[in-house]
Amino acid sequence: METVLSRPSVRNTGLDILRVLACYMVVQIHTGEFFYISPTGGVLNGPGAFWVSIYNSLFRCCVPLFVLISGYFLFPVKDEIQTFFRKKTTRVLFPFLIWCVIYAIYQFLMGKADLTATVTNILHIPVNYGTQIGHLWYVYMLLGIYLFAPILSPWLQTASGRNIRFYLVLWVVALSIPYIHLIFPEIWGECAWNNTPMLYYFSGFMGYAVLGFYMKRFYAQKGKWDFALGFILILVGYLITVYGFSTRLDTAKTIKELELTWAFESINVAMMTLGFFLIIKNLTFRKHDSWFARLTEDISLKSYGIYLIHIIILNTTYSLTISWITGQEYLFPVISAVTFIASYLVIKLLSYLPGSKYITG
């Protein structure tokens, strides 16, 4: 999704591959929601939910991967603050606002909102969404990181590796709080009248962005133990993630309870995020001008547009395939793959329009 920076003269092939993989992960994560979330928003425990647990537990690092990559390229912020925000407005905010309008109209065309509600939804855009299409939460979070980036950047430029690691260690502890809460519901100043407990300032997605910068500054080159360490992190993180989800399917009363180990801000998901990054960050193509290398780069550059449009494509794909593909283990990946490919092709076509950057990012 993070495709909003100026195109560099020499691209990082590994991060292009990682961005494409993360983009597909997002599509499959949202495909899985049809199979474990009921139409009323409750837990749907059927054969499909089992396969969601197996497949999507591995892919919960999708959003953290995008944020980590964002931090890798975002820091240090070299532009003047006015220039920095102007670039982000053009490449992130404008497409987001346009798609908020598109989704409001889409809800009207699907019969989920009348004309009055549609107009109200569009007027509501400056407040929160246009109509509540869940995946757009990511853009608000990303914009928040951009707003804070010029403030944090000077520290990151001058901080020693030890000082950055100090921040990251406390961030990792904050990632463990959901599990600590299973034993102690309130810790370190948490109470009804305090929304900012002790590690509040070390929590959140900013940690992934800082981690991305830290990896660029100290571990950008291929390391001897990158693959082994990455594999171990993915394996351990996946086992925790899949165990937590699968064992809660029979007992969880709410989706939030079911998704405890699926939280983007959990230590096991962070482990998988770093694991994928370590394994893929230095991958290259033997022929940089091959059709596959060019395709990978193009999908990477269009990943933000793919993210914005894919819910419309996904809903269509699901309604067309659900009745004629049997076997949840096959249906799940098919819908995801078709949605991903179709979303890319639509964004590719839109990119030829004049002013397409305001639509595709």
32-43 confidence digits (pLDDT tens): 998 899 888 899
Nearest alpha carbon to residue 219 among 164, 142, 301: 164
What is Dmax (Cα atoms) for the chain? 61
Instruction: Reply yes or no on whether the pLDDT at 137 is more than 90.
Output: yes
Q: Confirm if 238 and 272 have CB atoms less than 8 A apart.
A: yes
Inside any domain, residue 243: yes
- pTM of the predicted model as reported, rounded to 2 decimal places: 0.92
Mean per-residue pLDDT over the chain, rounded: 91
Predicted pLDDT of residue 331: 80
Residues 99-130 have pLDDT tens digits of: 999 999 999 998 888 899 899 989 988 888 87
- For the beta carbon of residue 7, count every other beta carbon within 10 angstroms: 8
Residue ranges of the alpha helices (H) in 75-203?
Answer: 81-88, 94-109, 115-123, 137-158, 161-175, 177-180
Average pLDDT over residues 210-219: 96
Inside any domain, residue 7: no
Inside any domain, residue 42: yes
Inside any domain, residue 255: yes
Nearest alpha carbon to residue 70 among 152, 127, 129: 152
Q: How far does Cα 139 stand from its chain's mean position?
A: 10
Q: How far apart are CA 136 and CA 132, in angstroms?
A: 8
Inside any domain, residue 310: yes
Confidence of residue 248 (pLDDT cuts 50, 70, 90): very high
How many domains are contained in the chain? Answer: 1
Give the CA angle between residues 266, 268, 271 to the nearest 5°: 110
Instruction: Reply yes or no on whether the pLDDT at 352 is more than 90.
Output: yes
Cis check: omega of the bond before 197, within 30 degrees of 0: no
Q: Confirm if 32 and 316 have CB atoms less than 8 A apart.
A: no
Inside any domain, residue 5: no
Q: How far apart are CA 317 and CA 112, in angstroms?
A: 18
Inside any domain, residue 134: yes
Query: Bridge-partner residues for 75, per DSSP?
Result: none
Q: Identify the domain containing residue 203 by its residue range.
A: 13-360
Q: Confirm if 279 and 226 have CB atoms less than 8 A apart.
A: yes
Inside any domain, residue 3: no
Q: How far apart are CA 146 and CA 129, in angstroms?
A: 18
Residues 269-326 have pLDDT tens digits of: 999 999 999 999 999 988 888 899 999 999 999 999 999 999 999 999 998 887 666 6
